[in-house]
Amino acid sequence: MRKKNDPTKRPDGGVTRRGFLGSVGAGAVVAATGVARPGEAIPEITSPEEMVRVALMINGRIHRLLVEPRWTLLFVLRERLAITGTKAGCERGECGSCTVLIDGSPRYACMTLAVEAEGTEITTVEGLLDGEQLGTVQKAFVEEDAFQCGYCTPGQVMAAEGLLRVNPSPSFDEIRCGMSGNLCRCGAYPHIVNAVTTAAENKKGGQ
């Protein structure tokens, strides 16, 4: 009886396109189903609805709470901790109204999971207050009339604060670059640049 040809093998012993695709497909199935090799532990998968315990350092105070792994820092700040200075705008990392500082660097809270932020120092616009007094950057925004509707202002202030912490004397172009991740629908950009310049001068003067 003649041996039937294997459609996955070439006459020269190589693998045909069908054989290659079949082997790749099988590997993908193994990867998707999480089948581990002998002796390997299967990674634990956390359900999106399963609550986990986190401790978040926000404005110098530790908040301990249960969160779902999928919750953003923005959601936790506003809906679970009532820290509402951080605004929800586009909620997809485009407008910057939710900007906070994480370890001193500006980050979009809508694009940061709350569980990611554990172990860091989070600063919101409320954290720039000196008691009941506005912080230096906040005062500069008022002095330079750097807002109209004001909705984007908390994010603008936090971006400016983050910029000035790493560059105390930014040039005009450096300010524009540093603030470029924050959008102002009212178009108050010239006033915003002036506010950052004023804040830089006031910080150097100890105000």
Task: List, run by run, the mean pLDDT of 10-residue segments along the chain (207 residues).
Answer: 54 54 46 52 68 97 97 98 98 97 98 98 97 96 96 98 98 97 96 98 85
Q: Which residues contact 148 (CB under 8 A, 6 or more apart)?
A: 186, 188
pLDDT at 199: 98
Beta bridge partners of 89: none
Q: Which domains does the chain have, with CATH numbers?
A: 47-128 (3.10.20.30), 129-207 (1.10.150.120)
Question: In angstroms, rounded to a whole number, what is the distance separating the alpha carbons of residues 177 and 163?
Answer: 10
Q: Which two tokens stand for residue 86?
A: 């951080």
pLDDT at 16: 56
Which one, of 197, 112, 125, 186, lies nearest residue 158 by Cα?
A: 125
pLDDT at 34: 46
DSSP string covering 11-31, please? TTS-B-HHHHHHHHHHHHHHH
pLDDT at 206: 74
